[in-house]
Amino acid sequence: MHVNPFYDAGLFLIGDTDTYLGIGPWRYLLLAIFWVLAVASVAIAYRSWQADPAQRKLVHFGDWLARVAIGVMWFEGCLWKLPIPSGGFKYWLEQEGKYAAFGFYRDLVTSVLLPSWTIIDVIAFLAEITMASALMLGFGVRAFAIIGMVYTAQLYFGLYQDPTEWPWEYIFIIVINWLFYIHCAGRSLGLDSLLRRKTKLADGDGLIARLYRFAS
């Protein structure tokens, strides 16, 4: 049950929300991972701010703040995929089987995804915690922004006819990820900024360099 945003945020930061409590002792590991990501994000931003005067602009601070916020959103979202198999995850997959925008998609969910829902649960958890990590650290943000758009579009179409859902919320998440992509948000006080400036990872015509330039 929600109390108010500040109190609820405090509970999240100490691992005392219902989603954390629902995964038992594993919550301490997940909480530790979250705090490592949060502290690392601030440290990376500070180092980039100190090392490069060009980073000391409001646009870069805004991009950093936005991608960290969405990263935290994905992190919180991954928690209710646990413990695997998660009954909560199965419930929402079942809703997609009922309320998807198109009949062929409802058939796909009921005949392919639901019979394999424990595997899909693992994939969803890994996708969300990876997106959370990438956005909070600012690494490969353009690539993960594309993944985030595709992932969210699946939810948009899958839950489009659910009377308890507001489809526009998924459009907003897609738009935010699109802005991360076109702004190359990892280069704003992120690890992408440091790696591009301090290493040769993005230099040259090799496959790794080309892939990293695309991803970052």
Residue 170, sorted as left (phi over 0), alpha (psi -120 to 50) or beta, turns out to be alpha
Q: How confident is the model at residue 208 (pLDDT cuts 50, 70, 90)?
A: confident
Taking CA atoms, 34 is separated from 9, 71, 74, 127, in Å, by: 13, 10, 11, 15
Taking CA atoms, 120 is separated from 69, 84, 128, 142, in Å, by: 25, 10, 12, 24
The predicted pLDDT at position 47 comes to 95
Q: How confident is the model at residue 206 (pLDDT cuts 50, 70, 90)?
A: confident
Q: Which candidate, 131, 129, 133, 135, places its Cα nearest to that of 188?
A: 135
The predicted pLDDT at position 56 comes to 94
The predicted pLDDT at position 1 comes to 67
The predicted pLDDT at position 50 comes to 92
Position 6, amino acid = F
Q: Name the most confidently modeled range: 1-10, 36-45, 196-205.
A: 36-45
Query: What are the pLDDT digits (tens) for 176-199?
Result: 999 999 999 999 999 999 998 888
* Region 24-43 average pLDDT: 96
Q: How confident is the model at residue 212 (pLDDT cuts 50, 70, 90)?
A: confident
Query: What are the pLDDT digits (tens) for 132-180?
Result: 999 999 999 999 999 999 999 999 999 999 999 999 999 999 999 999 9
Query: What are the pLDDT digits (tens) for 52-78?
Result: 999 999 999 999 999 999 999 999 999
Query: What are the pLDDT digits (tens) for 92-127?
Result: 999 999 999 999 999 999 999 999 999 999 999 999
Please report, rounded to a whole number, the percentage of residues in the chain having pLDDT higher than 70. Answer: 100
